[in-house]
Copies of this chain bind each other. A is one copy, B any other.
Amino acid sequence: MDESSLNRLLERVAAGALAPHAAADELRGFEDLGFARVDHARALRQGATEVILGQGKTPHQVAAIALALAARAPTVLITRAAEDIYQAVLEALPGAVWHASCRAITLRREPPPAGKGIVLVISAGTSDIPVADEAALTVDMLGGPVETLYDCGVAGLHRLLAERERLRSARVVIVAAGMEGALPSVVGGLVDAPVIAVPTSVGYGASFGGLTALLGMLNSCASNVSVVNIDNGFGAGFVAATINRG
């Protein structure tokens, strides 16, 4: 916390506009809701958008955390949210928007931070689109602009090779693929940019819920590939936006 921020904070306490307890929270960098220690310091460090993982929390918890964040940050992203979470958040924050394909909620009161190039999000198949959409939305909120290229799996290479120009013009590439997860290796060989591979749980039988795709990507023979968790479109988008802003 820089000095001017500190002064403003103390002035608000002096003016009765901020309770001493809340000021203490702020000085420590987080706000204690009992069930959550909302991390305001992170926002200052890692960009203006705050993120909440919806899964595993009650609608009430998510809404309360979102409200606490929205009191300070102009932009909030909630991932892996069920529809009842959206209802609770919408009540707390009327401007919240629902993104059905990837079950995310956004609150956006300022234009997002701009990156230095284009982030390209590629999906291997149609079924990988929800994960790819989560990645694209995250980039858009945290460091776009973002473009997408869907259903370019390796068994029909001409669908990918037809887009070589777009591939090479991207500053960062995200590739979402399930089943054997081979697409990042092929894309990695075609571009010079860093490739963030996100395995999806698309498949059946020996795809083991995305484990096969994950292992394939970790063993990629293309050296510019790094990997995030299965179905973690958000993580891929966050890493890509971080690189694109850097």
Contacts and interface: CB of A to CB of B under 8 A. Distances in A.
A246 to B, nearest CB: 6
A190 interface: yes
Copies of this chain in its oligomeric complex: 8
A141 interface: no
Most B CB atoms within 10 A — which of A125, A206, A246? A206
A57 B219 contact: no
Contacts of A151: 35-37
A154 B222 CA distance: 8
Contacts of A75: none
In the A-B complex, the 10 residue pairs with the closest CB atoms: A205-B230, A56-B127, A182-B182, A155-B189, A226-B226, A180-B216, A212-B215, A155-B222, A223-B238, A39-B156
Interface of A: 28-30, 34-37, 39, 41-42, 45-47, 51, 53, 55-57, 61, 65, 80, 117, 124-127, 129, 150-159, 162, 171-172, 179-182, 185-186, 188-190, 192-194, 196, 199, 201-232, 234-236, 238-239, 242-243, 246
Given A35-B151, A56-B126, A204-B232, 18 more contacts: A28-B162, A53-B127, A55-B204, A57-B127, A80-B204, A155-B220, A155-B223, A156-B189, A180-B182, A180-B217, A194-B246, A204-B229, A206-B229, A211-B215, A218-B228, A219-B229, A225-B239, A227-B228
